[in-house]
Amino acid sequence: MDLGISGKVFIVTGGGKGIGGAITSQLAQEGAIPVIFDRDEAAAESLRAELGADQVHYQKVDLCDTDACQYAVSATVDLLGRIDGLINNAGVNDGVGLESGDPGKFRASLEKNLYHFYDMAHFCLPHLKASQGSILNIGSKTAETGQGNTSGYAAAKGGVMALTREWAVELLKFHIRVNAIIPAEVMTPLYRQWLDTFDDPSAKEKSITDKIPLGNRMTDANEIAHMAVFLLSSKASHITGQHIHVDGGYTHLDRII
């Protein structure tokens, strides 16, 4: 199936590894031109080398720095002439809980996981108007189910889900579609790092996968990426304001376990 995204320019925040890296890779495979916005230069350059440095571009950006975001967006347009889509992906489940955290850490968590979603969309908007492009936000099931000990991340992802619907309404008149993918348990380097904090990582992983209804396994990052490129493509031309769960039924079907 030709998704019609060949030659189009897509910014992927946190696009050097994990879910973002999988989205970058899938976009490149479909002939698009992904631009990685990430502060992890080693990961981004490694992925560029793997995929082809001529096709995949990189801007080293601290997404918590609003001025840096604005500069990187401008630099991308100066280099490539357009922006056809924004994938707001970067974030970290940083364990800032109600009891374990404090007000300063909570605000910092929102900065790492929510504020740059707005900043990037704001700076990309004039270019998305010109291309009638789209925005894809990566959320998390924690905003719907809770997790415990992660107030900052859950609040931020709740904000992401709300902004998805808000922007979809505001941008209708510009024919800019806005959607969100809601993952649950995805095996990424950060997830593996978290599992390795337990005395028995394999047992902890099994206790999680046993509760994932479809196949009793983690979602693969490539499965998120496949949905991402579809939602960004013209094949999804009448889909906007949606929260799409790619989670093996975890969020809504785990009651059957």
Through-space distance between the first and last CA atoms of the chain, rounded to whole angstroms: 36
- What total number of domains does the chain contain? 1
DSSP, collapsed to helix, strand or coil, labels residue 161 as helix
Q: Is the pLDDT of residue 255 over 70?
A: no
Residue 113 is assigned to a structural domain of this protein: yes
Tokens, residue 2: 């030709």
Range of the domain at 55: 9-184+219-245
CATH code of residue 232: 3.40.50.720
pLDDT in tens, 218-232: 999 999 999 999 999
Residue 50 is assigned to a structural domain of this protein: yes
Determine the Cα angle at 121 with ends 84 and 224, to 5°: 65
Give which of 112, 96, 102 is closest to 151, Cα–Cα.
96
pLDDT at 106: 98
pLDDT in tens, 75-105: 999 999 999 999 999 999 999 999 999 999 9
Q: Is the pLDDT of residue 256 over 90?
A: no
Identity at 212, one-letter amino acid code: I
Residue 255 is assigned to a structural domain of this protein: no
Q: Is the pLDDT of residue 163 over 70?
A: yes
Residue 137 is assigned to a structural domain of this protein: yes
Could you give the maximum distance between any two Cα atoms of the chain, in Å? 53
CA 133/CA 8 separation, integer angstroms: 10
Give which of 249, 222, 29, 234 is closest to 131, Cα–Cα.
234
Q: Is the pLDDT of residue 246 over 80?
A: yes
Which of 81-85, 88-92, 188-192, 213-217 bottoms out in mean pLDDT, i.e. has the lowest? Answer: 188-192
pLDDT in tens, 115-142: 999 999 999 999 999 999 999 999 999 9
Section 168-187 average pLDDT = 97
Helix ranges (DSSP H) in the chain:
18-29, 41-51, 66-80, 103-110, 116-131, 142-145, 151-170, 189-195, 201-209, 221-232, 250-253
**pLDDT band at residue 257, thresholds of 50, 70 and 90?**
very low
Residue 190 is assigned to a structural domain of this protein: no
Backbone angles phi, psi at 87, to 5 degrees: -110, 105
Residue 204 is assigned to a structural domain of this protein: no
Give which of 247, 246, 224, 236 is closest to 21, Cα–Cα.
224
Give which of 36, 27, 37 is closest to 7, Cα–Cα.
27
- Segment (H or E) for 136: strand 134-138
Which residue shows structure tokens 């619907």? Answer: 165
Query: Across the chain, what does the average pLDDT equal?
Result: 96
Q: Tell me how crowded residue 2 is: count the other CB atoms within 10 A of its CB.
A: 10
**pLDDT band at residue 254, thresholds of 50, 70 and 90?**
low
Strands 57-60 and 243-246: unpaired
Q: Is the pLDDT of residue 44 over 80?
A: yes
Residue 214 is assigned to a structural domain of this protein: no
Identity at 94, one-letter amino acid code: D
Tokens, residue 3: 């998704």
The one catalytic residue in 58, 71, 115, 153 is 153
Q: pTM of the full predicted structure?
A: 0.96
Is 115 one of the annotated active-site residues of the chain? no
Say which residues have a Cβ less than 8 Å from residue 40's Cβ, sequence separation at least 6.
16, 17
Section 144-158 average pLDDT = 96
Residue 78 is assigned to a structural domain of this protein: yes
**pLDDT band at residue 189, thresholds of 50, 70 and 90?**
confident
